[in-house]
Amino acid sequence: MIALEAQPFEFTFELATCALVIIDMQRDFIEPGGFGESLGNDVSLLSAIVPQCRAVLQAWRAAGALVVHTREAHRADLSDCPDAKRNRGNPRLRIGDAGPMGRILIAGEPGCEIVPELAPLPRETVIDKPGKGAFYATPLGALLRQAGITQLLFMGVTTEVCVQTSMREANDRGFECLLLEDCTESYFPQFKHATLEMVRAQGAIVGWTAPSTALLAALSRAEPVPR
């Protein structure tokens, strides 16, 4: 059993039954010229978390525990992208339009790929999701249950959109969730701050939060799981 100093209280977990879920660390959100910037956002904040995310990913891999990556990714024919999502706010560039990194948020296009520093290994699961939440219209829930996973550690972007939506979906499905505070970011710092507060409020109503340093320290003392 690994014990993490967390808020609002200690989070305990076993490596064999806990997965690291990395939400949408895609070039379209993090690099200039992608979908995030096309929505009018300053993307420079988001790339700052990549080193901490990488350190956690490497330590989690070394511990032998399960890693899941997600991407907000649509089919090339846009059959899984509702007009309500595509046209909302009459954006300059819409999902599926040609952007500087290929068609925006279309599976297989360069901008849709996960940033190279966090690239999935061939054996790691990558979930393409059409919504903001990682469980909606994906096999994630079934995959986690089959692997015997009961707890999830979250990293990724953006905190209040895809990360928070995914945590709430997971919480309602009976998973205990912890968000790594310095491994998530928003285009709006006040929204990140508010999300961390609301996740852990009311006795961890959605889940726990902890800094990556707490996890890294705990992992350095842990016995890796054979997988």
- Give the active site residues: 24, 129, 162
Exposure string for 150-173, b = 16+ CB within 10 A, e = fewer: bbbbbbbbbbbbbbbbbbbbbbee
* Polymer length of the chain: 227
Residue 171 CB, shortest distance to ligand TIU, in Å, is 17
Choices 53-61, 76-84, 86-94, 156-164 (CB under 6 A): range interacting with ligand TIU: 156-164
Among 162, 196, 199, 210, binds ligand TIU (CB under 6 A): 162
State the Cα–Cα distance between residues 112 and 102, nearest whole angstrom. Answer: 8
Among 73, 104, 149, 157, binds ligand TIU (CB under 6 A): 157
Choices 57-65, 87-95, 142-150, 155-163 (CB under 6 A): range interacting with ligand TIU: 155-163
**DSSP-derived 3-state class of residue 40:** coil
Applying the rule CB under 6 A, the residues between 22 and 61 that interact with ligand TIU are: 24, 29, 39
Residue 72 CB, shortest distance to ligand TIU, in Å, is 5
Number of CB atoms found within 10 A of residue 206's CB = 19
Both structure tokens of 51: 């080193």
Both structure tokens of 209: 């939060």
Q: Is 158 in the site for ligand TIU (CB under 6 A)?
A: yes
Residue 160 CB, shortest distance to ligand TIU, in Å, is 7
Query: 3-state DSSP helix/strand/coil percent for the chain, to nearest 5?
Result: 35, 25, 40
Q: Is 161 in the site for ligand TIU (CB under 6 A)?
A: yes
Q: Contact at 8 Å (CB) between 6 and 214?
A: yes
Q: Which residues bind ligand TIU (CB under 6 A)?
A: 24, 29, 39, 72, 132, 157-158, 161-162, 187
